[in-house]
Structure 1
Amino acid sequence: MFDKYVSTPIIPVAVVETEEEIRKIADFSSEYLPSIELTMRTEYAYKALEILSKDYSNLAVAAATVISPEQADRILDLGINLIISPGFQPIMLEHAKNKGYNYIPGVATPSELEQCLYSGYKYLKFFHAGVFGGIEWLKGVGTVYSHTGVKFMPLGGVSIDNVLEYLKLPNVFACGGSWLCPRNLLSDKNWKEIKKRFETASNLIKELK
């Protein structure tokens, strides 16, 4: 599932609070974008992961905003084996190695990037991309670190208007699509608009081929 996740160019990023929300997003993902990054910022997120693990085995699922080994252990018990952090801590790098799960740490500086590379992590989240330099940052570090094979998933400040510009960079493996199903649309149950955004993202990906 890790390979499937990192090969999905636009990954839906969601904060969910109800079963209806997670099932709608999972259905749209199944049709258009076969991966989900579920943000662990609500208690319901754990129930949502359980639903995804049980009923949507076709999707590559990641649990995100994981900032402690205790959180990671709880997620692993639900059958999810891909964990993402907005930043990183050395203890999380070691925990992932010791437990054998797939881990994507977050970085925003060359120093953080090098620490992750030293520990063997080459797929990294770039957060918050919009605050820390976006496309220009990726171009800059690409010049220096391309020989290492490091790849990034930018999130934050990425939108339907600039996502292709990000995805065309050789050191970007995917972009987090938080605009696909934002909280305001979920709260309003605006499934028509959310589906439209998933479909648009799917069509954009075809332009890369």
Structure 2
Amino acid sequence: MSLLDLSPVVPVVVLHDVAHAVPLAEALVRGGVRIIEVTLRTSAALESIRRIADEVPDAVVGAGTVTAPSHAAAALDAGARFLVTPGTTDSVLAAAADTGLPVLPGAATVSEAMRLAELGYQELKFFPAEAAGGIPFLKSIAGPLPALRFCPTGGITSATAAAYLALSNVACVGGSWLTSDPADVVGIEQAARAAAALA
């Protein structure tokens, strides 16, 4: 099964305190969301991935915001099961591919999407979704690029997720609203249940 088919919503998680990692992941799984993208934006990110990988076996945890070649190997070492890049450079893509993990490379233009398709990638992150054209953009490229599936991320909310998911070339969406308060496990579980129901 593709990563993009695990949940209609991929939580994009920013963690500043590793103590929140396992309870947050457990709350998401209880709510029906198994996939978790922990962004490499904080010093707590890699240890958070490690703890989730070790202690929440039902979660599929990956690393997001992979923006340097060194991030890929570090994420693999921490136990990440997939990698997500906001954009794509040759060196980052090569390092990510070297890990052997599934990679969701980022694209924001038709040319970037075509280049990634030439390299064999058919599942892409569309980022920053709202700023880069949102639903109208994705609708407009579905005809010329019918083989590509997207996970749009960036500016998507609980109110707009369903409209994105209705598009033929959108498999899932990424969003930070599920875990906006990493300490609120009750709220996270409720948000996860609502997200899972979008399937």
TM over 0.5: yes
Flag the 1:4–1:29 CA change in 2: closer, same or farther, 3 A: farther
Match of 2:153 among 152, 155, 158: 155
Please tell me whether the aligned partners of residues 22 and 55 of structure 2 are also in contact (alpha carbons under 8 angstroms): no
Matched, 1:180 2:178: yes
Aligned residue for 1:28? 27
Distance across 1 between alignment mates of 2:99 and 2:13: 26
Give aligned pairs, total.
197
RMSD: 1.5
Aligned residue for 2:121? 121
* Equivalences for residues 1-209 of structure 1 within 5 A: 3=1, 5-7=3-5, 8-31=7-30, 32-146=32-146, 149-182=147-180, 185-186=181-182, 189-205=183-199
Question: Highest relative contact order (Cα 8 Å, sep 6+), 1 or 2?
Answer: 2
Structure 1 residue identity aligned to 2:25: A
TM-score normalised to structure 2 length: 0.92
Structure 2 residue identity aligned to 1:174: C
Q: Taking every aligned residue pair, what percent have the same amino acid on both sides?
A: 30
By how many angstroms is 1:97 displaced? 3.1
Please tell me whether the aligned partners of residues 93 and 119 of structure 1 are also in contact (alpha carbons under 8 angstroms): no
Please tell me whether the aligned partners of residues 29 and 59 of structure 2 are also in contact (alpha carbons under 8 angstroms): yes
Q: Deviations over 1:121-165 (max 9, x none)?
A: 11110011110110111001111100xx21100011211111111
Flag the 1:83–1:9 CA change in 2: closer, same or farther, 3 A: same
TM-score normalised to structure 1 length: 0.88
